[in-house]
């Protein structure tokens, strides 16, 4: 099942990357499974913190980066930058208080030089945080779809952590690390958490019930 999910999602991701302007885009909803593989991928993702001693192939890294950059982004500004880290010493330096055996990290950063409105009328407020968060989730889903395990470790808005990560990665002032995602082949298989709670949903107004 996992292999099938991986194959289907890879085809979806790669397919969407190669769509030409004007060409009809293949979507999860118009595949024969009615989007089930994509939904299954979302529902079975869970944070993975233990990894096999096995490197992640460049093709899989490329797909994660393409998925990340397919995220929605306010005014299509794409205010992000991704730093791929496979150097063992840098991984150790970035681990901070949480040691890891991950063979790969991707630092997902905001680029505040890319937050100017297209008409030149000033900067967009801090929407970059939401854009970069959406990219991070896409990256996690693409990792899972490819049989990899990953966990988001938070950086922004803890400014001491931002400074620490930015320093290790030699980031200029406009590049703000929002998350460091640890990635590798899973060496644990925790059950995905069921977080669905009816009480978190309202209809038409806060506290409203479905008619």
Ligand X SMILES: Cc1cc2nc3c(=O)[nH]c(=O)nc-3n(C[C@H](O)[C@H](O)[C@H](O)COP(=O)(O)O)c2cc1C
- Residues in contact with ligand X by the rule CB under 6 A: 46-47, 49, 98, 151-154, 193
In order, the DSSP letters of 132-171 are: HHHHHHHHHHHHHHTT-EEEEEEBTB-HHHHHHHHHHTT-
| Whether the bond into 157 is cis, omega within 30 of 0 | yes
**Which CB sits closer to ligand X, 104 or 151?**
151
Cβ-based nearer residue to ligand X, 9 or 100? 100
Q: How far is CA 44 from CA 33, 140, 141, in A?
A: 17, 11, 9
- The residue whose two tokens read 């970059």 is 128
Total Cβ atoms within 10 A of residue 75 = 14
Q: How far is the CB of 46 from ligand X (least distance, A)?
A: 4
Residue with the CB atom nearest ligand X in the bound state: 154
Measured from the CB atom, the residue of 62 and 187 that comes closer to ligand X is: 187
Q: Shortest Cβ distance from residue 107 to ligand X (Å)?
A: 13
Q: Give whichever of 9 and 153 is closer to ligand X, judged by the CB atom.
A: 153
Cα–Cα distance, 134 to 172 (Å, whole number): 23
Give the nearer residue to ligand X in terms of CB position, either 138 or 153: 153
Residue 18 CB, nearest approach to ligand X (Å):
30
Q: Which two tokens stand for residue 132?
A: 């970069």
Q: How far is the CB of 23 from ligand X (least distance, A)?
A: 35
- The least distance separating ligand X from the CB of residue 92, rounded to whole angstroms, comes to 16
């Amino acid at each position: 099942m996992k292999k099938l999910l991986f194959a289907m999602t890879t085809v979806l991701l790669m397919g969407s990357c190669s769509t030409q302007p004007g060409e009809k885009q293949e979507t999860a909803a118009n595949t024969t499974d009615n989007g089930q593989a994509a939904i299954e991928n979302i529902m079975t993702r869970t944070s993975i913190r233990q990894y096999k001693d096995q490197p992640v192939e460049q093709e899989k890294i490329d797909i994660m980066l393409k998925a990340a950059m397919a995220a929605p982004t306010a005014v299509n500004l794409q205010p992000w930058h991704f730093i791929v880290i496979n150097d063992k010493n840098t991984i150790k330096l970035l681990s901070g208080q949480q040691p890891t055996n991950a063979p790969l990290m991707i630092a997902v950063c905001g680029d505040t030089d890319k937050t100017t409105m297209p008409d030149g009328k000033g900067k967009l407020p801090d929407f970059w945080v939401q854009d970069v968060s959406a990219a991070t989730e896409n990256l996690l889903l693409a990792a899972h779809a490819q049989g990899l395990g990953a966990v988001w470790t938070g950086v922004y808005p803890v400014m001491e952590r931002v400074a620490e990560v930015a320093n290790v990665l030699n980031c200029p002032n406009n590049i703000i690390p929002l998350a460091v995602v640890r990635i590798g082949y899973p060496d644990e298989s925790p059950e995905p958490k069921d977080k669905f709670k009816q009480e978190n949903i309202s209809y038409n107004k806060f506290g409203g019930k479905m008619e």
